[in-house]
Amino acid sequence: MSQENIGAKAFVAGVDLEAYRRVKLSAGSGSQVEYAGVDEDFIGITASKVSSGEHVAVNLKSSSRTFKTVCSGVIAAGADLFGGADGKVAATGGASAEQGKALETSTADGDVIEVLFT
């Protein structure tokens, strides 16, 4: 019987994590995740808030769908998105390429909007 990718995978939180934030694999570990920082690539979005050492479901960015994601400030619907601090998305970025498009408007840091990642 073949296994099918359902778009989510369980990992162990390497740090306390909030819901709806970008995460990357922790250095030297294939099973722990931590927040992706400014302009860092990421593997997916956390599905819930967890404490360090607990299992967390990560909705993998490779799945063809939209994601609820935490913003680091004001973002207009349709804007290009970049990796922000603490796993958030931002309207501006550094030298790296955009990571997605905002499908809703954010009016403040901490807002959760729907995003399509590229």
Three-state secondary structure call for residue 85: helix
Amino acid at 73: G
* pLDDT reported for residue 108: 96
Three-state secondary structure call for residue 9: strand
Q: Are the C-beta atoms of 5 and 25 separated by less than 8 Å?
A: no
Is it the case that residue 96 has pLDDT exceeding 70?
no
* pLDDT reported for residue 103: 97
Is it the case that residue 2 has pLDDT exceeding 80?
no
Q: Which residues, in sequence order, are bridge partners of residue 56?
A: 11
pLDDT > 70 in the chain, percent: 92
- pLDDT tens, 10-52? 999 999 999 999 999 998 877 899 999 998 999 999 999 999 9
Model confidence, pTM: 0.90
The residue assigned the tokens 């967390």 is: 56
Nearest in space to 23 (alpha carbons), one of 4, 2, 40, 7: 40
Cα 10 to Cα 5, 28, 32, 44, 77: the distances in Å are: 12, 17, 9, 11, 31
* pLDDT reported for residue 94: 66
* pLDDT reported for residue 1: 38
Residue that wins the pLDDT comparison between 99 and 35: 35
What is the pLDDT averaged over residues 60-74?
92
Separation between Cα atoms, residue 77 and residue 26, nearest integer Å: 31
What is the pLDDT averaged over residues 82-104?
87
* pLDDT reported for residue 64: 81
